[in-house]
Amino acid sequence: MLMAKVVGSVVSTQKDESLIGKKLMIIQPINSEQQNIRFQQVAADTVGAGIGDYVLLTSGSSARKMFSTPSDAVDYAIVGIIDTFDF
């Protein structure tokens, strides 16, 4: 699982049928010190996250299992909203 910050949203009028009705967000993966790592990705939102939220991500087959059809064209899924960081 990864942590990330939601930095934007995606509007796509032409897309794979498996993405119809899914909210797509641009996420920036972060480390435990909230510093950017890796590069931005697009994730399907399952929890109603908004721009500026810190979120938990799952990827690969775990992300696809969040939806009704495990063959959906999804690489990342937002599965939680982070309320606080405690060290």
Residue 23: per-residue pLDDT: 94
Token pair of 81 as six digits = 């909203």
Residue 63: per-residue pLDDT: 84
CATH of residue 25's domain is 2.40.50.220
Please check whether residue 8 lies inside any domain of the structure.
Answer: yes
Please check whether residue 41 lies inside any domain of the structure.
Answer: yes
Answer whether 69's CB lies under 8 Å from 18's CB.
Answer: yes
Please check whether residue 18 lies inside any domain of the structure.
Answer: yes
Please count the structural domains in the chain.
Answer: 1
Whether pLDDT at 67 is above 80: no
User: Hey, what's the torsion of the CAs at 9, 15, 20, 23, to 10 degrees?
Assistant: -10
Q: What is the pTM (predicted TM-score) of this model?
A: 0.90
Span 4-49, pLDDT tens digits: 999 999 999 999 888 888 899 999 999 999 999 999 999 999 999 9
Whether pLDDT at 87 is above 90: no
